[in-house]
């Protein structure tokens, strides 16, 4: 348990000393701005009620105290007599010394997988545990958070059942392909390599979208042929390999924005972002890689050379079949995966293969994780 051992005030703010010896500093202004009393923070929505812009830059607390054996810090403000209380867990998280309660990384850390640390046999989740009273939906989200994907078996193959299943993961996103869309070589509405029987290299979808879909869902409705196995690659695992083995190449892919585009009659979509995007703490946030949809761009010669070298290194890792997880989807099997983490592809096939699918926003996926994690923290112990 995070415990505050001592607190000392000065002109700038408070210095907290933790029981393990660490030290953190918080300014007076920050403390007043982050008052967690109902007068300053709505307890239900966590929306701010404090008027940040009306606070005096020179504000200073009148008194501070450690309460509840180090689990709470209290600060009294001179102008209003307001007493602000802060939990030790909150302050430790803000200081980077503990996990944030609302962090999407909480509870189940990602299990990165590749040739060096392969996954074992992929056990599908039974559709009945999701559609019925079972705990299957929680299992699906836990596997998505841990492995980046989940396979569901026994799904009815009609579109209404697919819509019901996919809708349990968030609202279905509308794109130029529709909400629930069909995928088959027999379809001619879109000029895209996905609507073919050929092998598709692993890639992420919608590099041409400023906000690429977070989750991608497939349901196999018909299959009469050979081949066509779905390919999954853990982009985060390969990016971490690059960070360790080729740090300069990794840095290039974090810095160079790569444009993607999608063009068909009446549509010309374009967006750009680095192949590897990090969050504010330097953790992997998103992998974007689709050489099919990469738009032309030009840098000065040395920078372009560095980019091509880094891009080729990442590509070599992606197409290395030892880093693949293949899933032979057959009628009644659904695959849901994190499009910000995993790349997906398809082996070439012959015969008839009909899928339907959809997209979800990544923020809705993250919201579901936070909600499930919060419930698990508050659930009574058995």
Q: How many CB atoms lie within 10 A of CB 352?
A: 14
pLDDT tens for each residue of 180-199: 998 765 545 545 565 667 88
CA distance 115 to 130: 31
Q: Which residues, at least 6 apart from 211, have a Cβ–Cβ distance to it below 8 Å?
A: 361, 362
Instruction: Quote the pLDDT of residue 186.
Output: 55
pTM: 0.85
Share the mean pLDDT of the chain.
90
Q: Would you tell me how many other CB atoms lie within 10 Å of the CB of residue 189?
A: 11
Sign of the CA dihedral with 310 first, then 312, 317, and 318 last:
positive
**Topology at the third CATH level for domain 4-94:** NE0471 N-terminal domain-like (3.30.2020)
CA torsion sign for 274, 279, 282, 288 is: negative
Q: So where are the chain's domains?
A: 4-94, 125-374
Q: Is the pLDDT of residue 267 over 70?
A: yes
Q: What is the pLDDT of residues 50-99, one digit of tens each?
A: 999 999 999 999 999 999 999 999 999 987 788 999 999 999 989 988 76
User: CATH topology for 125-374?
Assistant: Double-stranded beta-helix (3.60.130)
Query: How far is 280 from 314, CA to CA, in rounded Å?
Result: 23
User: Does residue 367 carry a pLDDT above 60?
Assistant: yes
């Amino acid at each position: 348990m995070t415990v505050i051992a001592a607190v000392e005030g000065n002109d700038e703010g408070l210095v907290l000393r933790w029981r393990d010896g660490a030290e953190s500093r918080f300014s007076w202004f920050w403390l007043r701005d982050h008052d967690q009393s109902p007068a300053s923070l709505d307890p239900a929505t966590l929306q701010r009620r404090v008027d940040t812009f009306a606070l005096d830059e020179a504000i200073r607390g009148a008194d501070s105290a450690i309460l509840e054996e180090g689990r709470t810090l209290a600060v009294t403000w001179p102008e209003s007599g307001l007493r602000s209380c802060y939990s030790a867990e909150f302050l430790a998280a803000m200081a980077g010394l503990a996990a944030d309660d609302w962090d999407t990384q909480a509870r189940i850390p990602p299990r990165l997988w590749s040739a060096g640390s392969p996954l074992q046999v992929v056990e599908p989740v039974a559709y009945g545990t999701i559609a019925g009273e079972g705990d299957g939906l929680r299992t699906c989200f836990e596997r998505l958070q841990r492995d980046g994907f989940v396979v569901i078996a026994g799904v009815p193959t009609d579109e209404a059942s697919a819509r019901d299943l996919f809708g349990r993961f968030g609202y279905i996103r509308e794109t130029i392909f529709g909400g629930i869309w069909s995928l088959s070589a027999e379809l001619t509405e879109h000029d895209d390599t996905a609507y073919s029987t050929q092998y598709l290299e692993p890639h992420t979808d919608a590099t041409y979208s400023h906000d690429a879909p977070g989750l991608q869902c497939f349901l196999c409705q018909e299959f009469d042929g050979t081949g066509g196995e779905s390919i999954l690659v853990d982009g985060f695992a390969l990016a971490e390999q690059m960070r360790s083995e080729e740090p300069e190449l990794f840095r290039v892919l974090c810095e160079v924005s790569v444009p993607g585009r999608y063009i068909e009659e009446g549509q010309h979509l374009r967006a750009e972002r680095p192949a590897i995007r990090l969050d504010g703490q330097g953790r992997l946030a998103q992998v974007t890689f689709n050489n099919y949809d990469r738009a032309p761009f030009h840098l000065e010669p040395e920078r372009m050379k560095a980019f091509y070298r880094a891009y080729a290194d990442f590509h070599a890792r992606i197409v290395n079949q030892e880093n693949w997880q293949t899933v032979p989807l057959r009628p009644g099997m659904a695959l849901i995966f994190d499009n910000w983490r995993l790349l997906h592809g398809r082996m070439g096939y012959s015969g008839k293969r009909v899928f339907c699918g959809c997209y979800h926003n990544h923020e809705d996926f993250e919201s579901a994780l936070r909600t499930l994690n919060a419930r698990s923290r508050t659930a009574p112990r058995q």
